[in-house]
Amino acid sequence: MQAYDTIAAVDLGSNSFRLQVARVVEDQIYPLDSLKETVRLAAGLTPDKFLDDESQLRALACLKRFGERLRGLPIHAVRAVGTNTFRLAKNASAFLEKAEDALGFPIEVIAGREEARLIYLGVAHGMPPSQNHRLVVDIGGGSTECVIGEGLEPLRMESLYMGCVSYSKRFFGDGKITKDAMRQAELAARMELQTIRFEFSGGNWQEAIGSSGTARALADLLKQNDWSNEGITAEGLAKLRSMLLKAGECKRLDALGLKPDRIPVLPGGFAIMSAVFTELNIQHMSVAGAALKEGVLYDLLGRLHHQDMRDVTVSQFMRRYHIDPLQAKRVEDLSLSFFKQVAQGYDVDVDVDVDAAQQQLQWVARLHEIGISIAHSGYHKHAAYILENADMPGFSKMEQFQLGLQVRAQRGSLSKVPNLSGIIQDWSAILALRLAVLFCRSRTDVTLPEMQLKKSGNEYRIKLDKYWIEQNPLTENALQAEIKEWKAVGVSFSVTS
């Protein structure tokens, strides 16, 4: 992937949307411009998990403004990520189409643990080096990410379904801050934290860091009232709790000097932070300035400098699921050879990102037999399930879905692959993979004949030596079956000599 002097990250959080533009100098990132708008997307989630029209309009208006700032940047120099509300909303797919049109760039919906990884990456790059195990807690609008890491490496990552917007709406929706509401909110948060308490409590780390707007707001309040010189303390939170209960209403919190956009979500954020301190046995937490958007920038920088976390994940999965590396390499080399032959015939304006498609095909080829660790029968279906549902650091949910789709389509009936014809505009990568699997069936380094795969419109043709075909009846039979499978989905595939 090409390197760029300027890159940008867009963090579409459940409370705020943030944009960071940065200059790249070697392996360092220097901020050039930043924008933040309080969209409060999570507040627009209806009880049945649909984004209402009002919240969508707020989001789209913000994205249009962000899009103006990003105009002129290459598509691969910008990475936009959607977080918890995008994961929860049942109408997220329809909204994403409008959101991408408004922004002018693709938007990736990332899984909770991927969000946690990126948050830690941002925090770690923004703080002095340390040998300590660090606990990073990020209370977002709809979820809370907890990570334990060392240096730049996250070791344990979790994402919990609780956030300052969702909890403020759920427990303090009428604007009242009562003792009962606070108790209920804290108990609910403590229940969520019970699932990670053993691995994330004190003793597993030496330093606690808060990286969210909630953490910064709480630290500012404690400092203003002389309850903490730096960061957040358990003692300071206890005093702040009394102050919030004494105020009794959100509208009375403006006297505390908080930013107006932070006041409505402070009670929910406080309840979660109080529960975090109690359950994870925290006495003091420092506050970081960097978080998700900085992590996205550094992850993007890694991709541009050929240090892609997705490559690391694929290698780890190959080891974890005991994939035969020799067979994977055979299929990878042959499928890429087929794909490159077809790509040479693309028109210059064809709507296919050849480099991205080739990179994805490479990952698919390396992981196509991952399902054999479960069972050989139907292994392509098992492989697809793993790739679509496993935690895969570096990959967005859509990327995982696409990997699963291609792996599922590597063999058998194409017409039975869900959503295939509705998503695939260009069949070349799937055909290249299927042919590679077909010709590498012997799992040995046999000498294959010269093969030419060409594409014309929606028609594919492979040229093979006639004598070789006659000497390999099993392969000939498989190719004839392949012709029928492609015909069933309206694609012409033929074999010539």
Give rounded-to-5 percent helix, strand, coil for the chain.
Answer: 50, 20, 30
Token digits for 234? Answer: 């358990």
* pLDDT tier at 343, thresholds 50, 70, 90: confident
- Comparing 12-16, 243-247, 394-398, 438-442, which segment has the lowest mean pLDDT? 394-398
Mean pLDDT of 332-343: 94
Confidence band (pLDDT; 50, 70, 90) for 274? very high
pLDDT of 422 higher than 70: no
Between the CA atoms of 333, 339, 344 and 348, what dihedral angle is there, to the nearest 10 degrees? -130
- Tens digits of per-residue pLDDT, 112-125? 999 999 999 999 99
CB atoms within 10 A of CB 283: 11
Give the Cα-Cα-Cα angle 405, 407, 412 (nearest 5 degrees).
95
Report, as an integer, the average pLDDT of 388-406: 90
Q: Please list, in sequence order, all residues whose beta carbon lies within 8 angstroms of the beta carbon of residue 224, skipping any fewer than 6 positions away.
A: 256, 257
Question: What does the pLDDT read at residue 184?
Answer: 98
Residue 23, sorted as left (phi over 0), alpha (psi -120 to 50) or beta, turns out to be: beta
The enclosing H or E element of 57 equals helix 53-70
Give the pLDDT score at 397: 87
CA count, 13 A, side-chain hemisphere, 390 = 20
Residues 51 and 120: beta-carbon distance below 8 Å: no
pLDDT of residue 489: 87
> Residue 188 has what pLDDT?
97
93 C-beta neighbours (distance < 10 Å), count? 11
394 phi-psi bin (left φ>0, alpha ψ -120 to 50, beta other): left
* Rounded average pLDDT over 189-196: 96
Give the per-residue pLDDT at 14: 93
Task: Kindly indicate the confidence band of residue 347, based on its pLDDT and cuts at 50, 70 and 90.
Answer: low
Q: Answer yes or no: is pLDDT of 41 > 70.
A: yes
- CA 404/CA 385 separation, integer angstroms: 7
CB-based contacts of 320, cutoff 8 Å, min separation 6: none
Q: What is the pLDDT of residue 421?
A: 57
Confidence of residue 71 (pLDDT cuts 50, 70, 90): very high
Residue-level pLDDT at 253? 86
User: Rounded CA gap, 314 and 410, in Å?
Assistant: 18
Residue 130: predicted pLDDT: 85
Question: How confident is the model over 9-34, as a mean pLDDT?
Answer: 92
Provide the pLDDT for residue 423. Answer: 52
- Give the other-Cβ count within 10 Å of 114's Cβ: 26
Distance from the Cα of residue 44 to its chain's centroid: 22
pLDDT of residue 418: 67
Q: Using 50, 70 and 90 to split pLDDT, how confident is the model at 424?
A: low
Q: How confident is the model at residue 252 (pLDDT cuts 50, 70, 90)?
A: confident
Q: Which of 118, 96, 98, 95 minimizes the C-alpha distance to 108?
A: 96
| pLDDT class of 352 with cuts at 50, 70, 90 | low
The predicted model gives 440-458 an average pLDDT of 90
Token duo for residue 276: 């975090």
Q: How confident is the model at residue 50 (pLDDT cuts 50, 70, 90)?
A: very high
Q: Is the dihedral of CA 224, 226, 230, 234 positive or negative?
A: negative
The rounded mean pLDDT for the chain is 92
Global confidence as pTM: 0.84
